[in-house]
Amino acid sequence: MSVSYYPLFTQTVGAAGASTITFNNIPQGYQDLKIEYSLRSNAASSTADGNNFVVNGLANIYSWTQVYSTGAGLGGNNLANSTSYLGVVPAATGTANIFSVGTLEIPNYTGGTYKQGFVNSVSENNTVGATAHLISNLIKTTSPITSLSLVCGNGSFVQYSTVTIYARAAQYSTALPVSPSNPLVVDQAGFAAVSFTPSSSDNATTYAVTDNNSVTTYGASSPIIAPVTLGSATTYTVKAINSLGSASAAINPSVTSSNSFASIATVTLASAASPIVFTNIPQNYTHLQLRTSLRNTNSGATESFSVIILNGDAGANYSTHSVFSNGASITSFNAVSATSMYGPEAPNDGRTASIFAGGIVDLLDYSNTLKYKTSKVFTGFDDNGFGYVFMHSGTWYSFAPVTAIQINSGSTFKAGSTIALYGIA
């Protein structure tokens, strides 16, 4: 009896192109991943080489071995302690409108051992030199794979390049599935968390939520995050599925979303610490916002703002500018080719006791793969006679979606400091 693959996500590149195609928050609970891709580059050559994939944002943890053929002969090579390898794709001077087609399969992607990534791809161009690849990649991490990026080695992937990621169920189907029960919907700012209770021994290999617009979202467990239109009533049907069929929940929960903000995570320090980090940030929302209440442990009376690092990138890939005032004068400053962006204010412990600075940080279009990421920070404090108000801007020079945010103190954040992360529809 066959085992089905279930589509998780699909991305198609727009007119501006994309150097990286990223999938975040990959559901856990399946057995294997299968990635099907159709790719072309805008590199100024007939083919683009060096294309690779990255798991969990980890670089240079791979080694690979390949055999390839141009139809006129065979070749092979290997590379250790490097990036992974996907083979070549057609580029700008190659035959027009031809895209490379390939498959990347990663068995046991949640396992606690190193993983293998098997690639088979073809790059036809109606000329001698078209290439077929068979590649075995070693992925040297024992962590479950929660994100995966396909990276263009030369230039950028062009419009209409498409990648779909599938998951394979962990067991064979021997009987029809049994309907889940107790469906419940929680409004999450442009999305709905649809929870349910699987029936005991329900024979399901995956679950699905289908709304009244016939949009289906798959998931390995409850809850499943499904889209919803703000201001519109949306009705959902929850299904248990296996290769023999599906069984729907008896009740169709509905929601009329009027919520623009959804709480993702909140960190409140019980003791002094730095940094404060948010990881595995959902990609469901349009924008992100941080709301902060911070104080430093420094004993002096001076102030220090925190800094923000995105996706763990501490390279010189940021620029940042600031204007601030203490009510008596106005000052500005900036930093380019910086290793971080300015973050929210945190007064030192030499200031009046129990005063914490407030701050609001907006990260707009945080998951957009076609633009760099910009932050806007409004922050400050007042202690009944003295204070500061700041406005910061910052840019991270990366097309990558924001999946992690790190806020570093100028020293150490005092106990009671709080940062809340929200998604905005």
Total number of domains constituting the chain = 3
pLDDT number for residue 327: 84
- Distance, in Å, from the CA atom of 53 to the CA atom of 400, rounded to the nearest integer, reads 13
- 381 strand-pairing partners: 388
Within a domain: residue 174?
A: no
* 326 and 199 within one domain: no
Residues in the chain: 425
Which of 237, 256, 275 delimits the end of a domain? 256
In a domain, 247, yes or no: yes
CA angle 143, 144, 147 (to 5 degrees): 110
CATH number at residue 406: 2.60.120
pLDDT for 6 equals 78
266 shares its domain with 384: yes
In a shared domain, residues 202 and 306: no
Q: Indicate if 311 and 247 belong to the same structural domain.
A: no
Which residues, in sequence order, are CB contacts of 383 under 8 Å at separation 6+?
A: 347, 351, 352, 355
Q: Is residue 283 part of a domain?
A: yes
Nearest C-alpha neighbor of 149 from the set 317, 396, 399: 399
Q: Is residue 123 part of a domain?
A: yes
243: containing domain: 181-256
Confidence (pLDDT) at 2: 41
Nearest to 281 by CA among 417, 401, 164, 425: 401
193 and 134 assigned to the same domain: no
The answer to whether residues 15 and 162 belong to one domain is yes
232 and 163 share one domain: no
Mean pLDDT per 10-residue interval, the chain, length 425 residues: 68 88 84 94 92 92 92 85 93 90 95 95 74 93 93 93 86 74 81 84 82 84 81 84 72 66 90 91 88 89 82 92 90 91 89 90 91 93 84 92 91 93 87
Hey, what are 193's tokens?
A: 């968390």
Instruction: Indicate whether 24 and 155 sit together in one domain.
Output: yes
DSSP-assigned letter for residue 199: P
Angle at 361 between CA 378 and CA 341, to 5 degrees: 90
From 256, 287, 304, give the residue that closes a domain.
Answer: 256
Show the CA angle centred on residue 303, arms to residues 300 and 306, nearest 5°. 120
137 Cβ partners below 8 Å, 6+ apart?
53, 62, 63, 64, 84, 85, 116, 117, 118, 119
**Residue 300: what pLDDT?**
72
Is 313 inside a domain boundary? yes
Q: Return the CATH number at 199.
A: 2.60.40.10
Distances (CA, A) of 25 to 146, 167, 279: 5, 13, 10
204 and 276 both lie in a single domain: no
Output the CA torsion sign for 346, 349, 351, 356. Answer: positive
Identify which of 25, 24, 30 has the alpha carbon closest to the alpha carbon of residue 4: 30
In a domain, 223, yes or no: yes
What is the sign of the dihedral through the CA atoms of 287, 288, 291 and 292?
negative
Residue found under tokens 């005032």: 325
Here the tokens at position 205 are 């290999």
Whether 45 and 134 share a structural domain: yes
Residue ending a domain, among 256, 277, 294, is 256
Does residue 175 belong to any structural domain of this protein? no
Contacts of residue 129, defined as CB under 8 A and 6 or more positions apart, other chains included, come to 46, 47, 70, 72
Instruction: For residues 304 and 188, state if they share a domain.
Output: no
Which residues are within 8 A (CB) of 33 and not within 5 positions of it... i.e. 6 or more apart? 26, 104, 105, 106, 109, 145, 148, 165, 166, 167, 168
Residues contacting residue 26 through CB under 8 Å, at least 6 positions apart: 8, 33, 109, 145, 146, 147, 148, 165
d(CA 279, CA 91): 35
Instruction: Establish if 155 belongs to a structural domain.
Output: yes
Looking at the fold, whether 92 and 224 belong to one and the same domain comes out as no
Q: Do 159 and 14 meet the contact criterion of CB atoms below 8 Å apart?
A: yes
Q: How many CB atoms lie within 10 A of CB 113?
A: 8
Nearest-10 Cα torsion for 142, 143, 146, 148: -40
